[in-house]
Structure 1
Amino acid sequence: MSEQLISWARTVARNELAEPLPRRWAHTQGVADRASRLEGVLGRQAGLLTCAALLHDVGYAPTLAATGFHPLDGARFLRDVHGADDQLTRLVANHSFALLEADERGLREVLEAEFPLLEDQFLVDALVWCDMTTTPDGSPTTTEARVAEILGRYGVESLVGRFIRRASPEIFAAVARVEAVLAGQPRWG
């Protein structure tokens, strides 16, 4: 994806998040900064990751929250309002194991039908790494601290708490795969 598309993604995210949700906007900027660390291992897909990082939480915008499930609301907004690329909308819809949260919400079939998972596991893992190693304020953190922060914010027995506990092994595994590549090990698949 070109610099023009990255600029578009940054503008869309800023327009939807900066004023109503400044902390979410700070997180989004931090996630995009993390994406820039993966340029060397992603090659031509680096722009797609950066766009997805910028737009992954756009569905939290109050004006876009149709279902209350931000990955689905954001992906629908990008597809229906902006005519965004299929790969981009699928990354946004499925970021950080959203399919497991969709299951908790009774929206799994809807999410799978509208936005099937991408086959490029490394790209999916890369977005998990960016999101799950960034604090709500946009600073880098460990995945363990991020999961603990989410549990503390939402509560262990909340819908999000149940999801994050269920998704944690997958999140940790995805982050470990990306960190192995960053440490010089070859990419898989």
Structure 2
Amino acid sequence: MPPRRRRIGPRNPRAAKNRAPNSGATPYRTIQEQEFYGAGQQPRTPNVNSSPGYSRADINNAIDEASQNLSPEKREALRRAQWLWDDEQLLTTRPTNTSYPPRPRTLAAGYDDESQTLFVRFRGRRTGPDEYADGVGYEYYNVTPQEWAKFRDNWSPGRYINSTLNGKPYTPASW
């Protein structure tokens, strides 16, 4: 028996007139379907994490506390990274571990004990065989020294970020 073919489009041709014009949702969802299922994936705010439990104020407080408690060495390294594009002193673990060496997710990481801030540089675009340019950096706040040690020693930092660090306040770095 051949497989059943699925019909593309609204189930009810009359439902097409109920479709929201220019809603940005999938073209075949009716207004009722959008209300029931949602309008689709909402765009993420680029400068804060969308983890439940953290408001914008909580994240701003974490950033303020971390920036006030930075050690003098990390403060100077952060200043150099922001103004001189030199993150060698900021990201002391270079390269990070990876479970897939031909395509690592993270390139470098650093940690400040006093502010409990973890700095991570992700990979950017490919520049050659097994070589990647530095990508975007992220700062994770309220990271304990034990979590830093687990991240540093983990065979897959990307999985550790997804399982643990994405539940903490974080922002893209300005460095």
Question: If the TM-score is normalised by the length of the shorter chain, which range does it land in?
Answer: under 0.3
After TM superposition, the score normalised by the length of structure 2 is: 0.25
Higher relative contact order (CA 8 A, sep 6+): 1
Name the larger-Rg structure. Answer: 2
After TM superposition, the score normalised by the length of structure 1 is: 0.24
Structure 1 or 2: larger helix share? 1
